[in-house]
Amino acid sequence: MAGDDRPQIYLVTPPEIALPDFAPQLEAVLDVHPVACLRLDLATRDADAVARAADGLREIAHARDVPLVVAEHLALVERLGLDGVHLTDGARSVRKARAMLGAEAIVGAFCGASRHQGMSAGEAGADYIAFGPVAETGLGDGTVAAHDLFAWWSEMIELPVVAEGALDAARVAELAPVVDFFAFGEEVWREPDPVAALGALRDAMG
């Protein structure tokens, strides 16, 4: 984080999108706010549906110099001209993804609240580590990625760290000094005005 005024924005799509509705929303957000990366993260695991969405979003993102990564679907990255992959199984698939996609691709790993998984993923070649959720959500096993984890990581580890899950303005303000990226998804898209919602979260970064 040294030299950066505040964390960068890592935007995540809703779990379900209808391209004719979502595309203009995404364009509006990207035209107003600086976004470092966009992740296509759909609930469906149907590769054809993911590919159709990726085709539509790639043009929007790349026209604004925003890299587009896809959650899980390693095989689609090269085929669709995407910039990388976001893995959700900690360190388990990082080495395989790096070998498949090469040195230039973005490979990220979500590691829950596990410092050990994060360090292992970094050693295996991940470009960033995501921890979360940062508050109780009722999902998963209830484990929360605490402030202390991010603080330790930012002090001890060079690899960029992402906070995601259950973010609000108060938690953003609290975590801003110790994270490199905030991954905002439903926090933005569930609001009537996504541009304003992301603006409020950006303001909370300080």
105/81 Cα distance (integer angstroms): 11
Domain ranges of the chain: 28-204
C-alpha separations of 174 from 38, 77, 120, 151, 178 in Å:
23, 34, 26, 11, 9
Task: pLDDT band for 201, please (50, 70, 90 cuts).
Answer: very high
Per-residue pLDDT, 139: 62
Give me the percent of the chain exceeding a pLDDT of 90: 92
CATH superfamily of 28-204: Aldolase class I (3.20.20.70)
Q: Per-residue pLDDT averaged across 97-120, rounded?
A: 97
| Helices within the chain (DSSP H only) | 19-32, 47-63, 74-80, 94-101, 115-124, 147-156, 169-175, 186-189, 194-204
What pLDDT score was predicted for residue 172?
Answer: 98
pLDDT at 141: 73
- Residue-wise pLDDT tens digits, 39-82: 999 999 899 999 999 999 999 999 999 999 999 999 999 999 99
Q: Is 122 exposed, middle or buried (0-12, 13-18, 19+ CB in 10 A)?
A: buried
Residues 193, 162: contact at Cβ < 8 Å? no
pTM, whole model, 2 decimals?
A: 0.95
